[in-house]
Amino acid sequence: MEKINICRLCGGYNIFDLGKINGFTLSKCKDCSLVFIREIVNDEYLAKLYTLTPEQEAEQKTRSVYLDAGNENNLKYAYKKVAYRIKSHFKNRTNLRILDLGCSNGSFLDLFPGWDVYGVELEKTAGKIAKQKHPNVFIGDMKNANFEENYFDCITIQDALDHSNDPYAVVKQCYRLLKSYGLIVIKVHNISCLLAKISGNKFYAISPPGHLTYFNLKTLRMLLEKNNFKYTSHFYNTQKLRFDTAIMRASVTFPFLKPVSQKIGKTIFGNIPFYKNYHDIITIMGTKNE
């Protein structure tokens, strides 16, 4: 694949490589601290990446505790915290319209009864589930969704912006779609947390080509401000996980824990809730001020 030689965010040339991950080059900008994959991943590549074969769909339904029906409330724990902050921001307002980019199966949109909810999901299997519940879900690339300008009161991008091959363009598009003083909410992994520093290139979130860009508070604020948003707040998300899920994530950095996770998953201890906040997940909020 062709490589870029400038920072994806600030446009600077002062970048250096951190190593090879899954055949991709992990790089960092010395000027703004953005970490990103240097290879150019085009839209066609991403479309294939998020199109599952029938065999992969069947495997997805059984392979992971992330998709376990009994784990759904745990997975929604962080969503509920984000939803609460959004609703607090729009307190006493009605007739509100929200767009969730990368809405997966629509679990986050489920938390907004009474709102006019929209979503975009590239992966067809999850998108179909979301669309069954929320008809205004577009299955495909955001570039092909014909949303009106100045249409939404709030746009959320959770666990999705780091998958994009052009995060800057995505946020620029959000500015166009939001009403004046509309709210943008972005949740991603924090590449500057202590766990990431300890783990180095083995940080669990570094997983190209799934994740292509890695942010921290500084680069998230820069991303908002370069697109004419006003930064308003940020927070670090507490996650509620099953105990075996928590160990499974840790096994990315410490491989010897993988069989431990699998064994615990077969016992009653695997279902014990585990609350995690290593500042490894960050949510930033900003407003479109004109």
**Domain parsing of the chain, residue ranges:** 15-288
- Res 47: pLDDT: 83
Angle at 14 between CA 13 and CA 15, to 5 degrees: 95
**Cα(277)–Cα(236) distance, integer angstroms:** 7
Q: In 10 A of CB 30, how many CB atoms?
A: 12
- Res 66: pLDDT: 47
The domain 15-288: what is its CATH number? 3.40.50.150
Please state the pTM of the whole predicted model: 0.91
**Cα(7)–Cα(28) distance, integer angstroms:** 8
Six-digit token string for 145: 């969704």
Q: Return the half-sphere exposure (C-beta side, CA atoms, 13 A cut-off) of residue 20.
A: 2
- Res 262: pLDDT: 85
Over the chain (290 residues), what is each successive 10-residue block's mean pLDDT? 92 95 96 96 86 61 49 82 97 95 95 97 92 96 92 97 94 97 97 94 93 98 97 95 81 83 86 89 94
Sign of dihedral through CA atoms 163, 166, 171, 175? Answer: negative
Q: How do beta strands 137-139 and 116-121 pair?
A: parallel
